[in-house]
Structure 1
C-alpha cells in the first residue's frame, strides 16, 4: 500500500495568510491538482491540517481522509508525525500544499529508492534537502518522534537511515524538476500562471 500526505497546516505568512492550497494553477486549485495526481498512483491519501478548526475550511474530496497534527505548532514535523500514526502503508510520501506540479513518476521512483531505507529524500548539489517531496518509512518516523524532541526536518532526515537521492537522478524523469516548484506568495504565483 502506498500512502501520501498533503500538509495544509501552515499559516501562509508570506501570502498574507491566504491559504496556499487555494492558489489557482490553470483552472484548478493547488489542492485539486495534487489530489488528482496523487489519486492516480496512491492507495491512500491524507490531508493533514494543523487542528480540528482548520479541517472545516478544507474542501471535501471523495476517498480522502482528513487528520490533524498530534502536536500543534510544530510546523511540517507535526504533520509528518501525525501522518506516520495514521498511514496504512509501510512507506508514505509527503508533500506541501504549495507544490502544484507533483509527478506520479517521480513519486513512484522515490518509493523504490526508499526500499531498504527509512527515507528517500531528494538532495541538491549544495546539500539542501527536499523533505516535503520525499518518502518516509512509517515505523522509523514513529520511533524518531517517540525518542526525540527535535522537530527540525533536518534532524528527522539525519536521524533516519536515509537514501539521499540526487536531483540529477530525478532530472532524468522530470527534466525541468517541476516537481520541486513551491509557491509561497502571490508574486511567485503570478509567474507560474503566465
Structure 2
C-alpha cells in the first residue's frame, strides 16, 4: 500500500455529443468506464450529472459542459489533502501507479507529456494552486500556467508504471471503441483485462 496521500477528482460532466450517450456509463467488459476509474483510483470525488450506484456524484455547481475548470472548482471544495489527482471519466484504463508517482513529485503541478502534448487530465496538482486560479479560466491548462513549478512525466518514465501506456487511452467517439488500427500506437492489438481478451482502443487527444 502506498503512503502517498492525495485526493482524486474525476470529471464526469460534458454533453458527450460526439459519443451520443452518456459515455461515462458506457460499459467495457461489463463495467461502466466511470466505475472502472473509481475502482482503480479508490475513493474519488466524482463531478457531473451522473448517477452510479455505490458512488457519490457531485452536481457541478457551475455547469461545466464547456468549461472543465468549473468541474474541478466544484470538486476542489471536497478535497482535504494537499494534493489532488485530476482525470476524466473517459480515461477508462488509468493506472493508480501513475497517479501515485505524479503526486509524489514536489512540483506544484505534475502531469503527463506525450508526443508534444500536455495531458492536464492525467495530472496531480497542489490544492492551493487550483484555488488561486481566476474563475474566468476554463482550460485545465490554466493550472499549469499558475503553478510556480511544473513536472512533466515523459513517455519513458510513464512506461515504468504503465508498460502498455493504457493510461493514455481517451474515449471521445464511437470510433475510439472500434478494433483495428491500433498498430499505429502499440505493437499489439489486444490485451487481457482480468483474464478477458478485449480490444485496445486507439488514443485520441482532446483539444483543451
- TM-score range, shorter-chain basis? 0.7 to 0.9
Aligned residues: 176
TM-score, normalised with respect to structure 2: 0.77
CA positional deviation for 1:150: 2.4
Q: 2:132 aligns to what?
A: 143
Unaligned runs of 5+ in 2: 180-189, 191-197, 200-208
Q: 2:183 aligns to what?
A: none
Q: 1:15 aligns to what?
A: 19
Moved over 3 A (4+): none
Contact 1:85 1:138 in 2 (8 A): no
Equivalent residue runs for 1:1-194 within 5 Å? 1-16=5-20, 18-39=21-42, 44-49=43-48, 54=49, 57-61=50-54, 64-73=55-64, 74-113=66-105, 115=106, 117-126=107-116, 128-145=117-134, 149-161=136-148, 162-191=150-179, 193-194=198-199
Distance 1:22 1:66, change over 3 A: closer
Unaligned runs of 5+ in 1: none
Looking at structure 1, the residues matched to 46 and 98 of structure 2 have their Cα atoms a distance apart, in angstroms, of: 20
TM-score, normalised with respect to structure 1: 0.82
Per residue, is there more helix in 1 or in 2? 1
Aligned with 1:71: secondary structure? coil
Contact 2:110 2:123 in 1 (8 A): yes
Q: Considering Cα pairs closer than 8 Å and 6+ residues apart, tell me whether 1 or 2 has the greater RCO.
A: 1
